[in-house]
Amino acid sequence: MNANGTRGGDMAELARLLPAPAERDLPASRQQALKEHLVSELRPVGSPPAGRPAPRHRRRAAIIIAAAGAAAVAAAAIALAVVPGNSPGASPAAMRLLAKIATAAAQEPGPRVRDSQFWYIKSWVAFQTCNGGSGNNCVLDKPHQRQIWQSVSSLCVPGLLREDGQDTPLPDGPGAKCPDRGSVHDPTYRFLQSLPTDPHPLLSLIEREMQGQQPRPEEAFTTIGDLLREAITPPPVSAALYRAAALIPGVTVVADTTDAIGRHGVAVAMTSQGVRSEWIFSKQTLQYLGERDINIADGTTNGIAAVLQRAFVNHAGQLPR
């Protein structure tokens, strides 16, 4: 990523991007409205699925609130109501940081890509798995390399996932139609090129396509994070995604964190159900480095990733030079 306009005085500027102080508690009427909205979103569910990504689809954090009695529901709703960031948009610090990240992303050159090509993404990851689907018996996998090749133009074209020493053909099931440019939840490069570059229409489109596994702001943050982590996004759309994230209530800044290979960075984050999800960026270039999910109660890591390489290649299995 180009670092134009970001190197001079970056450390002093990033110091200004620390989270603003917590907002005052919301009025009782607003708390009640949010509680009623939260109750309307509740539905009985089983244990959340394991955190490991599916072979083709993006990794989606299944943070789903289970109905656990009226008292628990009310407590959860009130807790949600008083969390900093329930005003329109992200915190001021997050807005400033995301604006700088978007500007840097927009300055990247747009690659010329043929329909016959594949995007290649190499990352170093460790995801949480749960035995028997129980949230109380989960462990973090051993960090390992993950490589994916996906067609630029259609999910109907066979791709490849290479992980844990195994090759898995992609896609993992037949598409409803061919060619298939994908969707917000499983995009191709051609689909991403078709997205609006105005952040307001883009966020509206994402919200219409969300799967509803989490409260609305958290679901939007997760969906955008999935697009950032394991896709190659055209520069104008990448910039728009960051600007759209700045419109999401509850997004904050983490001044220093590390990705899966120990690179330090600054992060934008959102906390839901006791887990803070971070998108990590280089403090020098503002390039996306990876992501991290942290259990707030004990500081343990639920999932972590570092993007090592992105490129376009001519066939599945080919490595970039």
pLDDT digit of tens for each residue in the chain (321 aa)? 444 444 445 545 555 554 443 333 434 433 443 333 333 333 333 333 334 344 444 444 333 222 233 333 333 333 333 333 344 789 999 999 999 999 999 999 999 999 999 999 999 999 988 876 555 678 899 999 999 999 999 999 999 999 988 999 997 555 668 999 999 999 999 999 999 999 999 999 999 988 776 788 999 999 999 999 899 999 999 999 999 999 999 999 999 999 999 999 999 999 999 999 999 999 999 999 999 999 999 999 999 999 999 999 999 999 998
Residue 187 to residues 48, 200, 207, 243, Cα–Cα distance (Å): 24, 20, 16, 19
pLDDT of residue 175: 60
Residue 256 to residues 13, 217, 280, Cα–Cα distance (Å): 14, 23, 9
pLDDT of residue 131: 75
DSSP code at position 66:
P
For 32-52, give one letter per residue: b (16+ CB within 10 A) or e: eebbeebeeeeeeeebbebbb
pLDDT of residue 9: 54
Determine if the peptide bond prior to 179 is cis (ω within 30°).
Answer: yes
Pair 196, 202: CB distance under 8 Å: yes
Residue 89 to residues 217, 228, 302, Cα–Cα distance (Å): 10, 19, 26
Identify the H or E element spanning 33. helix 28-41
Identify the H or E element spanning 170. strand 166-170
